[in-house]
Chain A
Amino acid sequence: MTPLIDIRDLDVRFTAGASQVHAVRGLSLTVAEGESFGLVGESGSGKSTVLRAICGLAPTWDGTILIGGRALPPRRGPEFFRQVQMVFQDPYASLHPRHTVDRVLSEPLAIHGFSDRETRVERALEEVGLGRGFRFRYPHQLSGGQRQRVAIARALILEPRVLLLDEPTSALDASIQAEVLNLLDRLRTERGLTYIMVSHDLAVVAHMCDRLLVMQHGQGVEELTRAALRARAATSPYTQALLEASRGYTAA
């Protein structure tokens, strides 16, 4: 079976004037349909950049990205956006401050020419656990967790197959974090979604992902399954150090 997402030798460089940052170096990974895949690493290891390269937000990249066996064109078309959507890290920055929830959710429907917008918007709100009372609110009338639910609803309203999650809970406090993670888990089972989830929190990844890739300095260090992560059966010294660090943190 061909994997849904197949990334080969991905290279991403950021140039600012004379200086150049080589954010991702020759990264390869595959994700099967319905799988939840984690990207783990410390800040600056290039994990978010991988997501941005997939959805076309990174300026220049080399290599091949195949979605459903087809290579992505340099400019992503509407068809791509209906397959792949993204949830951003900071729910305070990812919603337009002057747009109501209703507008946030109906705009993608308008862009892609859906007809039954009213019912779709209401259904999307219900699915992420927000009632109708939230529909005409502005972001400043919502809490962080509610905002992130709106962001998830926005990502799902075009009914994509793949959801890219860029540390979707790191800006939320612990109790809300669990709620949002459970919501994401439920939606994946219900809709058969494929996730690529970026996180620096190994506990979150262990909870959410079937497999994960540890990244360091823009390169993939080691691929682990969930079972291996739980058994702490890492072979590379960096992953072992990372596991050690996370254990020390939880024990404290």
Chain B
Amino acid sequence: MTVAPHVPSRRDWLLTEQPASRRQARLGQAYRTWLAFRGNPLAMVGLGIIVALILVAVFADLIAPYNPIVGGDLRTERLLPPSAAHLMGTDDQARDIFSRLVHGSRLTLMVVALVAVIATPIGVFVGTTAGYFGGWVDTVLMRVTDVFLAFPRLILALAFVAALGPGIENAIIAIAITSWPPYARLARAETLTIRDSDFIAAIRLQGASSARIIWGHVVPLCTSSVIVRVTFDMAGIILTAAGLGFIGLGAQPPQPEWGAMIAAGRRYLIDQWWVATMPGLAIFVVSLGFNFLGDGLRDVLDPKARK
């Protein structure tokens, strides 16, 4: 009698209880997280929106039917309503709004990515350092954080942009500078809950330096909640960038930034509604996508919610 040989599938390999290598253990862990995430339909919608945004930004040149900067004939093609030729109509410079939205996704994505890359590490570093050392280090770092938290975010960003000069790069820097304090607070709170736990005491007893403990043991446990928070804040970041664009301190014309597009369209809001509405819809959809994604990530990544 022959027994059909059991061929382990890739799924079995990932979900095995006895991984044979570091890589397999890590991939298996990631796969389990993905399985949990996939079970949440709203989170998948959010992920779909974000992936779509990234694809649109990457392939903007292929997708956009018209030039986003240079418009058509100013006598005949200004403020056309949505039609087959212009899916979302045209604006007051006779530019195709759909093409501008597609190219504007690059700016939006750039703002979001750069702010996340700048603000998150600062927040995590300040928060974990303050939380781990405590004492005067904690006091100094947290008072600095409080100073930043005391200002409304848009006002502080306004002040920074006013000082640095208008432009999308300065807007990004201003938003990043104003958005790290909540992450620092969050990371500090997480650090306080784990710094006295036995596994931190154990690694201290192995002679690990403070830097090693913070980086290798505290930060991995803080990042998931910070990532969730950052994802939720993405919507706010997009809105702040749009707000700065709206009052003319963010992206400068003729850049197709969504907030600036709304600002340009508000003069025609009654008669040519599409000029301001289309970028508004884009902001709305992307913000919603990030919120769904954050919600799903929180369910999956939060170590406390985990079984």
A interface residue numbers (CB < 8 A to B): 55-57, 76-78, 81-82, 85-86, 88-90, 93-100, 102, 107-108, 111-112, 133-134, 136-138, 141, 151, 154, 158
Identify 4 new A-B residue pairs, CB closer than 8 A, beyond the known A56-B205, A94-B199, A99-B217: A97-B303, A102-B22, A136-B22, A136-B25
B interface residue numbers (CB < 8 A to A): 17-22, 24-25, 29, 197-199, 201-208, 212, 216-217, 220-221, 303
Contact with B221, one of A98, A112, A141, A154 (Cβ below 8 angstroms): A98
Which A residues are CB-close (under 8 A) to B20? 136
Query: How far apart sit A97 and B222, CA to CA, in the bound complex (Å)?
Result: 12
Query: How far apart sit A120 and B204, CA to CA, in the bound complex (Å)?
Result: 20
Do the beta carbons of A93 and B206 come within 8 Å of each other? no
Nearest chain B residue, comparing its CB with the CB of A164: B205
Which B residues are CB-close (under 8 A) to A108? 206-207
Which B residues are CB-close (under 8 A) to A134? 18
Query: How far apart sit A216 and B298, CA to CA, in the bound complex (Å)?
Result: 47
Contacts A81-B207, A111-B207, A136-B20 hold; do A88 and B201 have CB atoms under 8 A apart? yes
Do the beta carbons of B17 and A137 come within 8 Å of each other? yes
Which B residues are CB-close (under 8 A) to A158? 206
10 closest A-B pairs by beta carbon, nearest first, are A94-B198, A136-B25, A108-B206, A133-B18, A136-B19, A81-B207, A93-B198, A88-B198, A78-B207, A96-B199
Do the beta carbons of A154 and B25 come within 8 Å of each other? no
Q: Tell me the interface secondary structure of chain B in the complex.
A: helix
Which A residues are CB-close (under 8 A) to B29? 138
By CB atoms of chain B within 10 A, which of A82, A88, A90, A134 has the most? A88
Do the beta carbons of B216 and A107 come within 8 Å of each other? yes
Least distance between B274 CB and chain A CB atoms (Å): 49
Which A residues are CB-close (under 8 A) to B203? 96, 107
Least distance between B202 CB and chain A CB atoms (Å): 5
Which A residues are CB-close (under 8 A) to B197? 93
Query: How far apart sit A199 and B197, CA to CA, in the bound complex (Å)?
Result: 20
A-B contact pairs, 14 of them (CB 8 A): A81-B205, A93-B199, A94-B199, A96-B221, A98-B221, A99-B217, A102-B25, A107-B216, A108-B206, A108-B207, A111-B207, A136-B19, A137-B19, A137-B25
Contact with A97, one of B17, B25, B206, B221 (Cβ below 8 angstroms): B221
Query: How far apart sit A141 and B29, CA to CA, in the bound complex (Å)?
Result: 11
Contacts A81-B205, A133-B18, A137-B18 hold; do A111 and B212 have CB atoms under 8 A apart? yes
How many A-B residue contacts, CB cutoff 8 Å? Answer: 76
Least distance between B258 CB and chain A CB atoms (Å): 38
Nearest chain A residue, comparing its CB with the CB of B23: A136
Which B residues are CB-close (under 8 A) to A77? 207
Contacts A137-B17, A137-B25 hold; do A57 and B201 have CB atoms under 8 A apart? yes
Do the beta carbons of A57 and B204 come within 8 Å of each other? yes
Query: How far apart sit A133 and B18, CA to CA, in the bound complex (Å)?
Result: 5
Which A residues are CB-close (under 8 A) to B216? 107
Contacts A57-B204, A97-B221, A98-B221 hold; do A90 and B198 have CB atoms under 8 A apart? yes
Do the beta carbons of B24 and A136 come within 8 Å of each other? yes
Query: How far apart sit A108 and B204, CA to CA, in the bound complex (Å)?
Result: 10
Least distance between B183 CB and chain A CB atoms (Å): 19
Which A residues are CB-close (under 8 A) to B201? 57, 86, 88, 94
Least distance between B226 CB and chain A CB atoms (Å): 14
Nearest chain B residue, comparing its CB with the CB of A109: B206
Query: How far apart sit A72 and B199, CA to CA, in the bound complex (Å)?
Result: 23
Which B residues are CB-close (under 8 A) to A94? 198-199, 201-202
Query: How far apart sit A77 and B204, CA to CA, in the bound complex (Å)?
Result: 11
Contact with A86, one of B18, B22, B24, B205 (Cβ below 8 angstroms): B205
Do the beta carbons of A111 and B206 come within 8 Å of each other? yes
Do the beta carbons of B17 and A154 come within 8 Å of each other? no
Do the beta carbons of A100 and B221 come within 8 Å of each other? no
Which B residues are CB-close (under 8 A) to A138? 25, 29
Nearest chain A residue, comparing its CB with the CB of B303: A97
Which B residues are CB-close (under 8 A) to A154? 202, 206
Least distance between B263 CB and chain A CB atoms (Å): 45
Do the beta carbons of B208 and A57 come within 8 Å of each other? no
Do the beta carbons of A85 and B205 come within 8 Å of each other? yes
Contacts A95-B199, A96-B217, A138-B29 hold; do A57 and B205 have CB atoms under 8 A apart? yes
Which A residues are CB-close (under 8 A) to B206? 81, 85, 107-108, 111-112, 154, 158
Which B residues are CB-close (under 8 A) to A98? 220-221
Query: How far apart sit A94 and B204, CA to CA, in the bound complex (Å)?
Result: 12
Which B residues are CB-close (under 8 A) to A111? 206-208, 212
Contacts A57-B204, A158-B206 hold; do A100 and B22 have CB atoms under 8 A apart? yes
Nearest chain A residue, comparing its CB with the CB of B224: A98
Least distance between A234 CB and chain B CB atoms (Å): 33
Least distance between B58 CB and chain A CB atoms (Å): 32
By CB atoms of chain A within 10 A, which of B17, B29, B202, B212 has the most? B202
